[in-house]
């Protein structure tokens, strides 16, 4: 038995492992674990408190996949519902469809009794407003004066959004995967997407094979980072297939990152020809072996097993 998660999902991995240990299915355990992160207003990349799109609206994406059934489903551009992973699970269980978006996803959530709420916290609103006022000198907005400066927000932009740190600060996601006591695998991924994204933009997280994938006979993989790179490479599916051929989780993950790096468009490369963006893969082999890999290190993967919950270093393709 084991649960793994992205670095921001240690609590999710611990909760998922606990639930799977006491009889919950791997999928139920994953979704319940991720709900802890979706509920956290300090986590700016997921659920309640996630950073909004360019219009100031929080749009959430999520998907689930069950290795025992080899089925999954996703929801995208979902507004007003803080637990998109739960909505995706209902979609998988109640229908024959694999993806709902926008208004259709919201209507499905409403039909299932999910409460609606304003997901834009005051902190996220202040960050969005700062972004609007500082992104351009050629529109209607004026830059904040010195006496208006929001020091917490300004610090986040300086350290996480601009310059080299933009590899990290503009995106984020939570992923969780579980192998239950009978060997069955399941996983889920949930996100609010790139900060201040184009309205309606959908990344890799709700797309089976891109943001996550599982096959009981091979393993599971999920990803966070630059969603467009995952979409064009179907990274999670490809990584699981590489594990099926006999590669270890770490070797399968690094091979995917090399493929992505080799085909990165010129405008997304640095002066040394390497991808400017970061990308992480979290892999769990059907044998129970696991690994986290990252385009750029140092990064971490959350793990929970009989030894307890912990963060472990990912294996990077490039070091800063």
Which range (63-72, 166-175, 187-196) has the least confidence?
166-175
Question: Would you say how long the chain is, in residues?
Answer: 320
Three-state DSSP string of 218-251: CEEEEEEECHHHHHHHCHHHHHHHHHHCCCCHHH
Nearest Cα residue to 222 out of 179, 174, 277, 281: 281
For the chain, what percent of residues have pLDDT higher than 90? 86
Query: Do 240 and 299 sit in the same domain of this protein?
Result: yes
Q: What's the mean pLDDT when you consider all of the chain? A: 93
pLDDT of residue 154: 73
Pair (54, 177) in one structural domain: yes
**Which pLDDT value is given to residue 133?**
84
Q: Structurally, how many domains does the chain consist of?
A: 2
Q: Tell me which residue of 278, 273, 276, 274 sits closest to 295, measured CA to CA.
A: 278
Active site residue 173: yes
pLDDT in tens, 205-228: 999 999 999 999 999 999 999 999
141 and 190 inside one domain: no
- The last residue of a domain, from among 131, 165, 199: 165
Q: What is the pLDDT of residues 281-303, one digit of tens each?
A: 999 999 999 999 999 999 999 99
Residues 169-187: tens digit of each pLDDT: 455 799 999 999 999 999 9
Check pLDDT > 50 for residue 65: yes
- Choice among 45, 121, 173, 189 that is catalytic: 173
Average pLDDT over residues 71-80: 98
Look at residue 170 in the predicted model and tell me its pLDDT.
55
pLDDT in tens, 140-153: 676 776 666 676 77
Q: What is the mean pLDDT of the segment spanning 252-274?
A: 96
Contact assessment for residue 212 and residue 63, using Cβ atoms and an 8 Å cutoff: yes
Of 22 and 130, the structure prediction assigns the larger pLDDT to 22
Q: Containing H/E element for 175?
A: strand 174-179
**104 shares its domain with 26:** yes
pLDDT tens per residue, range 18-51: 999 999 999 999 999 999 999 999 999 999 999 9
pLDDT at 169: 45
Question: Phi/psi of residue 38, each to 5°?
Answer: -65, -30
CATH number of the domain enclosing 284: 3.60.20.30
Q: Are residue 227 and residue 271 in the same domain, yes or no?
A: yes
Q: Give the pLDDT confidence score for residue 135 in this predicted structure.
A: 76
Q: CA geometry: angle at 62 spanning 57 and 68, to 5°?
A: 170
Displacement of CA 56 from its chain's centroid (Å): 20
Asked if residue 210 and residue 195 are part of one domain, the reply reads yes
Q: What is the pLDDT of residue 222?
A: 98
Pair 112, 151 in one domain: no
Same domain, yes or no: 150 and 212: no
In terms of residue numbers, what domain contains 308? 2-119+171-319
| Final residue of a structural domain among 165, 196, 220 | 165
Residues 233 and 157 reside in one and the same domain: no
Whether 74 and 146 map to the same domain: the answer is: no
Specify whether 112 is located in the same domain as 161: no
Domain identity same for 217 and 237: yes
């Amino acid at each position: 038995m084991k649960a793994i998660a992205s670095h921001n999902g240690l609590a999710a991995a611990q909760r998922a492992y606990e639930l799977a240990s006491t009889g919950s299915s791997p999928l139920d355990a994953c979704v319940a674990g991720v709900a802890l992160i979706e509920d956290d207003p300090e986590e700016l990349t997921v659920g309640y408190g996630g950073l909004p799109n360019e219009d100031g609206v929080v749009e959430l994406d999520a998907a689930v996949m069950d290795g025992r059934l080899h089925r999954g489903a996703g929801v995208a551009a979902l507004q007003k519902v803080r637990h998109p992973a739960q909505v995706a699970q209902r979609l998988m269980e109640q229908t024959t469809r694999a993806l709902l978006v926008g208004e259709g996803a919201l209507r499905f959530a409403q039909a299932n009794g999910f409460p609606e709420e304003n997901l834009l916290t005051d902190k996220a609103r202040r960050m969005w407003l700062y972004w609007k006022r500082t992104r351009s000198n050629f529109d209607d907005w004026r830059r904040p004066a010195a006496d208006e400066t929001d020091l917490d927000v300004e610090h986040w932009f300086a350290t996480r959004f601009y310059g080299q740190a933009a590899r990290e600060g503009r995106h984020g996601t939570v992923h969780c995967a579980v192998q239950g006591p009978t060997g069955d695998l399941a996983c889920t991924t949930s996100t609010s997407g790139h900060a201040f994204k184009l309205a309606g933009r959908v990344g890799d997280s709700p797309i089976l094979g891109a943001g996550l994938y599982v096959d009981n006979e091979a393993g599971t993989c999920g990803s966070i980072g630059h969603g467009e790179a995952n979409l064009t490479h179907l990274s999670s599916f490809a990584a699981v297939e590489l594990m099926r051929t006999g590669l270890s989780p770490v070797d399968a993950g690094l091979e995917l990152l090399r493929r992505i790096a080799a085909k990165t468009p010129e405008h997304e490369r640095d002066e040394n020809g390497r991808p400017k963006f970061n990308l992480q893969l979290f892999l769990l082999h059907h044998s129970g072996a696991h690994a986290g890999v990252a385009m750029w290190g140092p990064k971490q993967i959350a793990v929970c097993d009989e030894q307890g919950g912990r963060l472990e270093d990912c294996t990077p393709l490039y070091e800063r």
